Structure 1
């Protein structure tokens, strides 16, 4: 009797699995989601600040202030070794240095174009050693690296999610 019940349950499980696969529909994504490659946490392309708006927000930040934001910008450069950071254009010859939360994800080394980043914006002072390290990662020449002699105030961002426009 136990064998018959076991075989009956096995048959029901097999049929149920087979039917669920046949009824499975391909995941449909919105056109906005399909226009982007996603990195890190899943974010959407809604309620995004423009470059001018985020630039204004940064102008109001002091060292130690933090602001949760999502904005769009153009990639100026990406770490050429691992893709562990990128610099985004803020216009007016300003850039924001973007790192990724807990090094949980990286950008493609050849990433270019428009991105939407979500996370924390802040201003920090960057040491000479760190500036030289970033210049080395970016493939700068020894002459350019040697010219770095003073710390700088850096517009920074820790992203928990990024959308790269395809």
Structure 2
């Protein structure tokens, strides 16, 4: 009798395990592209989240550059600031500084309400000398006060980035301007 009970128990376990395996086999496969679509809003050229370096690694790259140097890179970080008028630039923290990110040929913009969201950018990083008027323009776009804008009196060596594609962490109601392909 014991052998019969043990046999029935063992058979029940095998059937239960077999049924579980069939449930897993019947589930549709989710590929990396579908996972990406579930996680990010896509802007500009099509890119993936694969092989992106973090912002601290980008800082090390900038540290090795001089004004005029350029390198292609894909970076992942957080949006620290964004143009509140159009979303035509963002600030990406890289260590104790922030890189100013613009979008290639002004062909796309990021959400004006994207501050604090994760972003993955593909494009070119470079060091640049930014004139006073352009620095003031960025300050105005960021909604700075007249006093803060007037306090900008010297050009700066800035960390710059021109993105050809971007992924932004998905969120409800992104406020995105249509790009007119005109530079401001």
Instruction: Give the C-alpha shift of residue 165 in structure 1.
Output: 1.1
Classify the secondary structure of the residue corresponding to 1:30: helix
**Contact 1:33 / 1:44 at 8 angstroms: preserved in 2?**
no
CA RMSD of aligned residues (A): 1.4
* Counterpart for residue 120 of structure 1: 124
Q: Which runs of 4+ in 1 moved over 4 A?
A: none
Residues 83-123 of structure 1 deviation map (CA, whole Å, 9 limit, x = unaligned): 1111111122x100000000000111101311000000000
- Consecutive unaligned residues of structure 2, counting only runs of 5 or more, are 1-30, 171-184
* Counterpart for residue 161 of structure 1: 165
Residue 104 of structure 2 corresponds to residue 101 of structure 1: yes
Larger Rg: 2
The structure whose residues are more often strand, as a share, is 1
Instruction: Give the C-alpha shift of residue 40 in structure 1.
Output: 0.2
Instruction: Give the C-alpha shift of residue 33 in structure 1.
Output: 3.0
* Counterpart for residue 82 of structure 2: 78
TM, length-normalised to structure 2: 0.73
- Consecutive unaligned residues of structure 1, counting only runs of 5 or more, are 1-27
* Counterpart for residue 50 of structure 2: 46
Rounded to whole Å, the distance in 1 between the matches of 2:148 and 2:123 is 31
